[in-house]
Chains A and B, each alone.
Chain A
Amino acid sequence: MSHAAVAGHGDHHGHDAHHGPDPRVLLSRENIYLPEGAGKGVSTILLGVGAVCIALTVAGAVVHGPKHALASYLVGVMAVMAMSLGAMFFVMSQHLINAGWSVTIRRQAENIMSLLPFAVALLIPYLIAQLLLPDDMKLIQWMRSDMKGDYLLQKKAPYLNEPFFVIRSLLYIGVWLYLCQRLWSHSVTQDRTGDRTETVKARRMCTWGMFAFALSVAFASFDWLMSLDFRFFSTMWPVYIFAGCAFSSVALMAIVIAVLRTMGRLTGVVTQEHSHDLGKLMFSFSVFWAYIAFSQYFLIWYSNIPEETAYYLHRREGGWEVLSALLCFGHFVVPFLILMLRKVKQSSLALAGVGLWMLLMHVLDVFWIVRPMVYASAPADTSASGVAVWLDIVAISGIVAIYAGLLIRKVASGVLIPLNDPRQDEALAHKNYV
């Protein structure tokens, strides 16, 4: 791209990226590192709150039964795992298309991605509990021994059986941790050595990595979420889950960047132009989610097959219809209308506000997917164990708080942008010429 050589024009129309300050000033230590010990207090508080909440969740499991507690716990785990997976998708997609503009915000995506092991570590106890707990405490219905005689389950048994489930789960986790580790190490190795071939290596691994990511996320969404109700099936399901991943990760990135900019960091490195593009991604993934969510619902509504419609019927009664309607508006209409405004997209603070709303909606979306499953098999359960909203709040916010605390530590622990990236100049000069 040729910036028709225009030297040092007027400075009364805001900043101009391609002739901004000297890169040596932009990349000075004060601008791209947080001060020593920054965020330590906040993260300690968050981790403490999270630990208390997790303890309360365990107490809730005793009071209301492990099934309810495990469902609430799964909502939290899946919500934060989606953010990390979405961030991994962002990193890989930017490598694949050799994107220049996003280089200076890539490290924040990598930070979010690098919490994937934490999400996996939270998921494993849940999976073990599903395999080992007695029937009436199992959330995954097809694992119950009294379901084994079900005609549909017998048809699906070659896929839905415990040994294969364990192998698959380990495979997804292995693929993700490997991809995550490789992407992270290419990036930080380049920080250290300045070796430009790291960029090429990262791009090359993303060619097959993206396939591995797509397949593993798709089948993980089948196994861990869709198979909660083994009668239900939807080929749109993995895309819906992926839409949530991408949606939540860009929202979280917008929040992290806004916090860093409020702390006086990344001045001139991440400008309103980067916020603008991040806002476009938030907008597009909000629309993408709506498109997928509607398509899935629409096809099931039209074809009217009982195994499929049960999923939506269950979410149209007993109070869930309120949440369904809230998601239509909160997950789609509200971000859609607000993010249409260019001023909002260009302001990192406004974008972070929308991002917080989007994260809340994302958690509610996962809640809407998982939580009705507690009563899916026996609606009469409601009178037996009771609906404990406090248990949901405690379990979800506990996991989110720990996740946030770890993320703060991760962000503060290193440089805030990738160093020595060959596309860095392009990112610093990034501008939307429209």
Chain B
Amino acid sequence: MNLSLPFTLNDIADYFPFLKRKPGRFVTPSGAEVHAIIAQFATPADVYHAAEKVRDAGYTRWDVHTPFPIHGLEEAMGIKRTILPLIAGSVGLGGAAVGFLLQLFISTDYEIVVQGKPFTAWEPFTPVTFELGILHCAFATLIGMLALNGLPRWHHPIFNSKRFLKSSDDGFFIAIEAADAKFEPNAVKALLESAGGTGIELVES
């Protein structure tokens, strides 16, 4: 029985061009696209200083992978502050506004006498307004964080490298992606070598 579909994903993408993956600029002799070039470093200090060099060289699409957090690494990498607080704050305030208006609308549209209090008194609205603000803020923070991190995803091409698995044990890695505008294999290799990287290898996509 043939279970294959009568069309491929690329056929669909013909009608939705934005779905089409852009072909990588760099392809290995075997025909696979290049995902990144990685280099291993021996100590946190080595990878820290190497990160400063990569940052100063002007790369933007790259990452450092370490078994544990290294304090100050985000500064060495030149990572800017996340916009997540803005997302959380604005959605939170929006949620609070929704909570308030919801009650205001209900209380004016369907008036119920409670202890003879005014229908539109702001006092009883406050807890619900507050709670909805918190709820929206929490959702925005979680979902915003996942979205900014590109999560969830099934797989990441960097795991095609067997050596990279040491990054969850005792290896400190820098990976410069082929998607970086400045990416040029020989220059990247030279930079990582001069920064003290060992076992430099090319990871296929």
A344 to B156, CA, bound (A): 39
Given A304-B115, A433-B71, A6 and B44 contact (CB-CB distance below 8 Å): yes
Partner of A9, one of B43, B48, B89: B48
B68 is an interface residue with CB less than 8 A from chain A: yes
A4 is an interface residue with CB less than 8 A from chain B: yes
Residues of B within 8 A of A302 (CB): 115, 123-124
Q: Could you tell me which residues of chain A, from 300 to 354, have a CB within 8 Å of some CB in chain B?
A: 301-302, 304, 340
B49 (CB) vs chain A CBs: closest residue: A9
B142 is an interface residue with CB less than 8 A from chain A: no
Are A9 and B115 in contact, with the CB atoms below 8 A? Answer: no
A-B contact count (CB 8 A): 43
A223 is an interface residue with CB less than 8 A from chain B: no
Are B44 and A298 in contact, with the CB atoms below 8 A? Answer: no
Are B75 and A13 in contact, with the CB atoms below 8 A? Answer: yes
Are A301 and B45 in contact, with the CB atoms below 8 A? Answer: no
Contact with B along A356-379 (1 / 0, CB 8 A): 000000000000000000000000
Are A6 and B48 in contact, with the CB atoms below 8 A? Answer: yes
A158 is an interface residue with CB less than 8 A from chain B: no
Given A294-B126, A431-B71, A433-B71, A340 and B89 contact (CB-CB distance below 8 Å): yes
A37 is an interface residue with CB less than 8 A from chain B: no
B101 is an interface residue with CB less than 8 A from chain A: no
Interface size class of B (residues with CB under 8 A): 10 to 19
Residues of B within 8 A of A18 (CB): 71
Question: Chain A's nearest CB lies how many Å from the CB of B174?
Answer: 15
B32 is an interface residue with CB less than 8 A from chain A: no
Residues of A within 8 A of B70 (CB): 4, 6
A16 is an interface residue with CB less than 8 A from chain B: yes
A18 to B43, CA, bound (A): 18
Contact with B along A233-268 (1 / 0, CB 8 A): 000000000000000000000000000000000000
A316 to B71, CA, bound (A): 53
Are A6 and B71 in contact, with the CB atoms below 8 A? Answer: yes
Given A3-B71, A433-B71, A10 and B76 contact (CB-CB distance below 8 Å): yes
Contact with B along A184-215 (1 / 0, CB 8 A): 00000000000000000000000000000000
Question: Chain A's nearest CB lies how many Å from the CB of B18?
Answer: 35
Residues of A within 8 A of B48 (CB): 6, 9
Contact with A along B46-86 (1 / 0, CB 8 A): 00110010000000000000001111100110000000000
Q: Which 9 A-B pairs have the closest CB atoms?
A: A4-B44, A13-B75, A4-B70, A6-B48, A6-B45, A301-B123, A3-B71, A433-B71, A10-B52
A residues apposed to B, CB below 8 Å? 3-7, 9-10, 13, 16, 18, 294, 297-298, 301-302, 304, 340, 431, 433
Known: A16-B75, A302-B115, A302-B123. 7 other contacts (CB 8 A): A4-B70, A6-B44, A6-B72, A9-B72, A10-B76, A297-B123, A298-B127
